[in-house]
Structure 1
Amino acid sequence: MDSPPNDLDTHALGRAAPGKGLAREACPYAEGTQARTRWLAGYDEAVADGAEPVSEGIAKHPPSGEPAR
């Protein structure tokens, strides 16, 4: 998988990830990069604030209200 461009707000993307059905392990950024650190921090904040964590990569069924892909 290619990493997304570095000009995105990686922290905000990480915060949104649980709501999009992504698990922490599905982080799209390479090990050892600042983008990965920020994405994971955003993910962890979202879960600490009450977002339901996803296990096993990507949810098999999207959260309600979102179309299946």
Structure 2
Amino acid sequence: MTTLDEQLRAQTEAGVVEAGAREKRRKMVRSVAHSSAMEGMPLGQDMRTMLDAYADGTMTTAEIQARLEAKYRR
């Protein structure tokens, strides 16, 4: 029974840590979008999509960098 309790506690902790990381990434994305808009250069839809994927944890910064390099090297 203790093993089950430990597993549940570990899963709960992992969920809390992931939620905190996701919120931190979401705040960074909002900050980038706000700064860009304040400078008169709002983010395009493709960049917003990539940053939303980053905030959700489905895309890494390395993947975003690779996509941007591929896009602008044409």
TM-score (norm 1): 0.27
Larger Rg: 2
Greater RCO (CA < 8 Å, at least 6 residues apart): 1
TM-score (norm 2): 0.26
Larger helix share, 1 or 2:
2
